[in-house]
Amino acid sequence: MSEEIDFDAILGKYHSDPYSYIEICATQTGRVSFKIAEGDTVNSPSGEWLHIPGSQLFEITRERNPKLVTAKINGTISSVRTELEGQFVEAGEKLLTIRHPLKKKEVIEGILKEVLYLFPAPERAKYFFSLDIQSRIEKKGAKALAINPGDEIIIMSLMKRDTPIYYTGEAGVIHSVYFTPGVSVDQGQPLIGVCALDKLPLIQKVITRVKADWDKLSDPAHLEE
């Protein structure tokens, strides 16, 4: 992580285009049928347990087995490969793009994800801190908790099989926690963001600066709290 961060450049980038662009690809090989058109608004999953699926994006059928794919994030359809309608596509083929309007919190998280060490989930499963780590977090808070490579920090739970997860990143403190106990995390998604102890003031500076400057410079029409 660089000691010098060009705040103006980072904020300028987000201000000029306060969106993220999420490419949606074919989840399996099959014949694709789109359920949306360019410019459509799509919703993310909702409900207390996020159990109400997001907007329908496309259906992909292989061997008479249709699979409906829904939006995992809200936004506007910025492009659709309509030439593929009714065609057979390979798994992984890009099909459409969702333009997602960023909230201030997401901008901060986005910047932090560039500067923190992100420790990823090894499998789609539920995660919780190991008992020792949990009790230390409850006593002192995560940011006072130093972790080192090899520490057993998290338990992965899948079908009541609990697997200790050993930390493999750089030594530091847990700055951000991206999982909620009891909620499944997809493979590869970050579980925690770790910051070297001496870099903590710099991270705080990023957050303070974004919070202060974002509202001042932003176009309220684009942004959500």
What minimum distance in Å lies between the beta carbon of 52 and another protein? 5
Rounded CA separation 169/175 (Å): 13
Token reading at 180: 């909620």
CB of 69 to another protein, least distance (A): 16
Coil, helix or strand at residue 155: strand
Considering beta carbons, is residue 187 or 208 the nearer one to another protein? 187
Which of 66, 141, 149, 182 touches another protein (CB under 8 A)?
A: 182
CA atoms within 13 A on the CB side of 24: 28
Compute the least distance from the CB of residue 89 to another protein, in Å: 19
Site membership for another protein, residue 21 (CB under 8 A): no
179 CB-near residues (< 8 Å, 6+ apart): 121, 127, 185, 191, 192
Q: Which residues between 117 and 176 bind another protein (CB under 8 A)?
A: 124-126, 131, 157-164, 166
Closest CA to 177 of 145, 208, 202, 150: 145
Beta carbon of residue 158, minimum distance to another protein (angstroms, whole number): 5
Smaller CB distance to another protein: residue 160 or 216?
160
Q: Segment near another protein (CB under 8 A), from 3-11, 26-34, 48-56, 112-120?
A: 48-56
Considering only residues 68-97, where is the footprint of another protein by CB under 8 A?
A: none
Residue placing its CB nearer to another protein in the complex, 76 or 130: 130
Q: Which is nearer to another protein, 1 or 158 (CB)?
A: 158
Which of 116, 137, 141 has the alpha carbon at shortest distance from 191? 116
**Is 48 among the residues that bind another protein (CB under 8 A)?**
yes
Q: How far is CA 68 from CA 48, 54, 61, 137, in A?
A: 22, 11, 9, 41
| 64 near another protein, judged by CB under 8 A | no
Nearer to another protein, 37 or 52 (CB): 52
Q: What residue type is 182 in one-letter code?
A: G
Total binding residues for another protein by CB under 8 A?
Answer: 22
Q: E strands, the chain, where? A: 19-25, 30-34, 41-42, 56-62, 65-70, 75-80, 88-89, 94-101, 117-120, 126-129, 146-147, 152-158, 161-166, 172-177, 190-195
Which residues of this protein are in contact with another protein, per CB under 8 A?
Answer: 47-49, 51-53, 124-126, 131, 157-164, 166, 181-182, 184
